[in-house]
Each structure stands twice: as structure tokens, then as C-alpha cells.
Structure 1
Amino acid sequence: MTTVTARPRAGRDPMRLPVPRRVRLGLLVVHIVATAAWIGLDVALAVLVFVPMLDASWTAVCHQVLPLLFWPLLTTALLSLVSGTALGLVTRWGLVRHWWVAVKLVMNLLLVTLIVVLLGPGLADAGRHGRALAAGLPDVGEVPRLFMPPSVSITLLVLATVLSVWKPRGRVRKT
């Protein structure tokens, strides 16, 4: 009896899912646009956080607008995560084959988690604070300090962009 084993053709990567070039390019466009939108939303968040620090008369307006950014931020972050994961599965870079791709994946997962766990409740608290100020109620309680989330997020997203362009050498070791 003869057993037949499938061998990959020369030049083919057995770990990569075969998809048409147009699909890969479409995923790349979605990933780039989602990440660029995410950076833009983080810049808007930074403006809404830092303006009241410079001029307190803007606090009520800026804090009321902050909660509106939660769903767009989460949506673009998840779209970036899903499209990046899909790209890792269909390109030669792999999902965790090269260390720079693995670092980008970990950063994306971390940022999505921080949006849900820390930023969402902080934005809701800031919104309540802004509505109370706009209604002329006394300043009740501490407003969350939201200058850290956009600073960290923008820094990590720019680092991820640099890694994507630079593509430093080095593979993740197999243990």
C-alpha cells in the first residue's frame, strides 16, 4: 500500500492561507485606513482632554463630547485588530512568525483591552461631569485624568506604524 502525503510546492509557504492578491490588498487597505482613523480619533481625544487644561471655560463642552468617542475608537481598534490578524494569516510575515508582527499584535490587543476596561468608564465619568457643569451644578467629585490614554495610544500606534514600514529582521524562536 502506498501512502500519499501532500507536500507544499516549491516557493509555497505551508503556514500561509492562499488568497487572491486582490483580497490581500483589500485587507491591507482596510488595515491602514482603520489604523489611520484610530490615530485620528486618538488625536481628537487628546485635543478634547488637553484643551480644558489650558482654558477651564471649555471643560463642560469638551467633557460632554468625550463619551461620543468611545464607540468609534473601539470600532476602529477592533477593525485594525481583525484586519491585522487576517493579514498575518495570509501574508509571508505570518501572525507570530516575526517578532515585530507579534509585538504589533500584543500592542493592539493591549490597546483594545484598555479602551474597554479603562477608557470607556473614564469617558462616561467625564461626560457626567461635563453635563453637571453645563447644568450649573456644583463641581461634584473628581474627574478622571484622561491625558494618559491618548498619549499612550498615539505613541504605540506610531511605533506599530514604524515597525510596519521598517520590518526589522528577526523571527520568533520556536520552543
Structure 2
Amino acid sequence: MTARAKADHGSAASGLHLQMSKLLISCLIVAIAATGALVVTLIVGFPERPGPPPGIPGVPPGPPPNFQGVAVLVVVTGMFVLAWLAVLVAFSRDQILSRLSPERDGTVDEEQMKDLLDEVRTALAADREREWQAISERLAEYGEQRETDGYLNGMRVATESQPVDANVRSIRRPPAQR
């Protein structure tokens, strides 16, 4: 691929290249079916049924409203939204993949992939080792600080002029003397 072809990739002059994958096509079919189901549900579920206005004396009230149609409409609308969202995600995925590897045409060199994976594994191992060293240093500093604080606190208690009346009770009772 030349430098000019890379510069023209995705520009208005070269046109929009629509990558149609199997996932995008299947999502489009499902989305179109969901749109049709929504339209049919709207037409069948809510026909024009004008009734008498409420509160007219002498006219009996109409039947109670049927909420089953509303429930079906909510479910079909949810399917409609999710189907078109899936189309959007699949389209975005295909565009990103086509921008990441415009020269590959779907083929992957196995040796290059192994080399890239080895580089990533090496980098991850080095990062893990650095993080382990940093955590070990922090733990050592924390341990030293706790040890020093304990020693200083013990020295303060030992040098106090007044004896400390500690009310210490053992957990176990001493054996009874017979």
C-alpha cells in the first residue's frame, strides 16, 4: 500500500468503503425484521376505535382498556432498539477492523502473530516484575515503620514515671488448687 493510498483511506474523495461482514448482514436482517414487526404491531394492536366520550349521562361506559397490546408494543420496541444497536456495533466493528489492517485482506501471517504475542508476553512479564518489586518495597517500608513505631511506643511506656496499672486478665483460668 502506498503513502498516497493510506492518506486517501477514509477520505471523501476515495469514497466510503462499506465492509459487509456476515455479522453485519445478519444484524441488518434481524433489524429489518424487527422494524416490520414494530410497524405491524402498531397497525394491528392500535386500530382507530373511537368510543363515546367519558362522563356522558345515559351512555354506558365502554369496556376497560386492554393493556396486553401495550405490553406487546413495549417488547417489540425493545427488540427494535436492540437490533438496530447491534447493527451499529457491527458496522463500527467492521470499520475499525478495516482501518486497523487495510492491507491484509483478512489473511494473517502466523509467524508475525506469534512474534507479536511473544513481545506482548515479554512486556507483560516485565511489567508484572516491576509491579512486584514496587509492592515488595512498599511492604518492607511499612513493616519497618510499624516495627519502629512499636519500639518507640514501648520505650515511652517503659520510661514513664508512673507505673501503668494494666488490668490484664488471662483468657484461661488457672487450674484450681486442691
What TM-score, normalized to structure 2?
A: 0.32
Query: Which has the bigger relative contact order, CA under 8 A and spacing at least 6?
Result: 1
What TM-score, normalized to structure 1?
A: 0.32
In terms of Rg, which structure is larger? Answer: 2
